[in-house]
Amino acid sequence: MSLLASRESTEDAAPGRPPVPGATTGYLSAIAFLGLFILGILLNSVFAEGLYPMPTVPASETVQYRLDNPGVMRLSGVVNVLAGVAAIWYASWLAAVVGRKAPGGQASWLTFAGGAISGAFLILSGAMQWVVQRPDVLADEGLTQVVNSLIFVIGGVGVVLGYAGLVGVSSLVLVRARLIPTWLAVVGVVSGALSLVAAFGLVPEGTELVYLIPLGRFPALIWIGIATVFIVRRRRLTASA
């Protein structure tokens, strides 16, 4: 458990139950994850020259895009790695909250597993950005296209799938514990379901269903930001009641 939360973590502890991490851990981990994740998106969509190459574009276009944006691509990889670490940090905090409200069940494990999967795929996709930017890899158009496609699948579908546990499962526990409102729990469950549906984006050979990725991604990111505030505020009210 984070030392940053040590002063706050005992405020709602009960005999025989582990304490819940405090507001500092929740806020910092959520801000770190959301901030770094959004920064990674901006680097690829705003600061880079041209559109990020989809797996279906010619290999020559993929190579040219990466030759035109070497610094941005490497920085994007670093940001993704850090975002992955922050995702695992946030998942550990949220899983501790879920475990406190539903002790002895599998919900906390599923919550952490979901966040850990998303975080691990972010780290892997970030590391692969460095690999694909190597001159010897860019010299081979076919290899560049393969690695670029893997980054797309891992950093897109793979990351989104983890939100099913992180957001979907935790919503069911948090609403029963009255830590989030019903409408936000509905958003969380629907977001978790859409995260699983994103896997069907891999069915066609092309990218016809690529829109399923943002359908699962952005509701989950919004849920994380709003739910964190509700959890911390309502936990404090419960502790002081």
Name every residue whose Cβ is closer than 8 Å to that of residue 28 and which is 6 or more positions away in sequence. 4
Rounded to 5 degrees, what angle do the CA atoms 119, 179, 99 make? 55
- Give the pLDDT of residue 203: 87
Own/partner long-range contacts of 178-182 (Cβ < 8 Å, ≥24 apart): 178/234, 178/238, 179/97, 179/101, 179/230, 179/231, 179/234, 179/235, 180/227, 180/230, 180/231, 180/234, 181/230
- Give the pLDDT of residue 104: 67
- Give the pLDDT of residue 236: 58
Q: pTM for the full model?
A: 0.87
Residues 85 and 123: their CA atoms lie apart, in Å, by 7
Residues 33 and 48: their CA atoms lie apart, in Å, by 22
Digitized pLDDT (tens) for each residue of the chain, 241 residues in all:
333 333 344 334 444 444 455 778 999 999 999 999 999 999 988 999 988 999 999 999 999 999 999 999 999 999 999 999 999 999 999 999 999 888 767 999 999 999 999 999 999 999 999 999 999 999 999 999 999 999 999 999 999 999 999 999 999 999 999 999 999 999 999 999 999 999 998 888 878 888 999 999 999 999 999 999 999 887 655 544 4
